[in-house]
């Protein structure tokens, strides 16, 4: 039924709410006199807002010159204090194993840093399912933020062709599994199908308005979608 399944990371394969909130608050403690409440941070997470935009929204006085320092502080906090808090959602291993057995290629396209994704996969025993060149994230050469298509057109598709011999890939045979508005829009921009993970972090009302092709309440519910008739 599908020739490729693309996963989002935060709120889709992994429960990262606590790790992100904690790391952002530690960054504010180190670099600012105020610390935003969890609810304010979660509002931007649910919208799929990137790290730089989140910092600017939470700290409007942040200058472009300071952004690099804040991001570096956050990534250090995330690596030390955030990563141990990350857990795969129930059903992740079962779903990934099913896709591997069905010989359906899988990839991750995320607005999160690729290095942090790789570490979380390793820590949770799931790195075996994702080759490094099929993990596309922030700072990956050529990648852009979802829902822009560059991460798909300029990074993922060439890797599939060059490394895995997939020369024909119909957009209609691509399934994007994600939890926020950018994920659903990304699927629409590709011309593929969207599977919205209602259990994730996206704004429920706004995501439903986009009319995703499929809606699931657990990762196990994705298995019938990719199993064909």
State pLDDT tens for residues 195-209. Answer: 999 999 999 999 999
Q: Residue 181: name the closest of 219, 155, 136, 212 by CA.
A: 212
Tell me which residue range forms the domain holding 104. 4-15+88-227
Considering the domain architecture, whether residues 52 and 107 belong to the same structural domain is answered as no
CA atoms within 13 A on the CB side of 14: 29
Tokens for 229, please give them: 């008739």
End-of-domain residue from the set 34, 66, 85: 85
Contacts with 207 (C-beta within 8 Å, 6 or more apart), sequence order: 179, 180, 181, 184, 196, 198
State whether 102 and 198 are in the same domain. yes
Same domain membership, residue 135 and residue 194: yes
Which residue, of 85, 105, 124, is where some domain finishes? 85
What's the predicted TM-score (pTM) here?
Answer: 0.90
Query: Where residue 30 sits, what CATH number does that domain have?
Result: 1.10.150
Domain closes at, from 42, 69, 85: 85
Q: Do 55 and 157 have their domain in common? A: no
The answer on 216 and 121 residing in a single domain is: yes
Say how many domains are in the chain.
2
Handedness of CA 166, 167, 173, 175 (dihedral sign): positive
Note the pLDDT of residue 207.
95
Q: Is the pLDDT of residue 229 over 70?
A: no
Return d(Cα 225, Cα 229) in angstroms, integer.
Answer: 9
Q: Is 213 exposed, middle or buried (0-12, 13-18, 19+ CB in 10 A)?
A: middle
- CATH number for the domain that contains residue 152: 3.40.50.1000
């Amino acid at each position: 039924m599908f020739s490729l399944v693309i996963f989002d990371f935060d709120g889709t394969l992994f429960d990262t709410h606590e790790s992100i909130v904690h790391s952002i608050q530690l960054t504010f403690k180190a670099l600012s006199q105020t610390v935003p409440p969890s609810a304010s941070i979660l509002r931007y997470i649910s919208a799929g807002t990137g790290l730089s935009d989140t910092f600017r929204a939470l700290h409007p006085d942040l200058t472009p010159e300071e952004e690099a320092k804040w991001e570096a502080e956050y990534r250090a906090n995330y690596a030390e204090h955030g990563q141990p808090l990350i857990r795969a959602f129930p059903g992740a291993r079962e779903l990934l194993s099913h896709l591997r057995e069905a010989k359906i290629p899988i990839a991750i396209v995320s607005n999160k840093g690729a290095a942090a994704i790789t570490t979380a996969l390793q820590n949770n025993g799931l790195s075996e399912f994702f080759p490094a060149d099929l993990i596309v994230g922030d700072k990956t050469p050529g990648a852009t933020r979802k829902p822009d298509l560059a991460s798909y057109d300029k990074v993922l598709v060439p890797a599939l062709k060059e490394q895995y011999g997939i020369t024909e890939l119909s957009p209609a045979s691509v399934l994007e599994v994600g939890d926020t508005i950018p994920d659903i829009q990304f699927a629409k921009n590709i011309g593929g199908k969207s599977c919205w993970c209602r259990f994730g972090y996206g704004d429920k009302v706004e995501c439903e308005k986009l009319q995703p092709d499929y809606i699931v309440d657990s990762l196990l519910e994705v298995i019938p979608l990719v199993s064909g008739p």
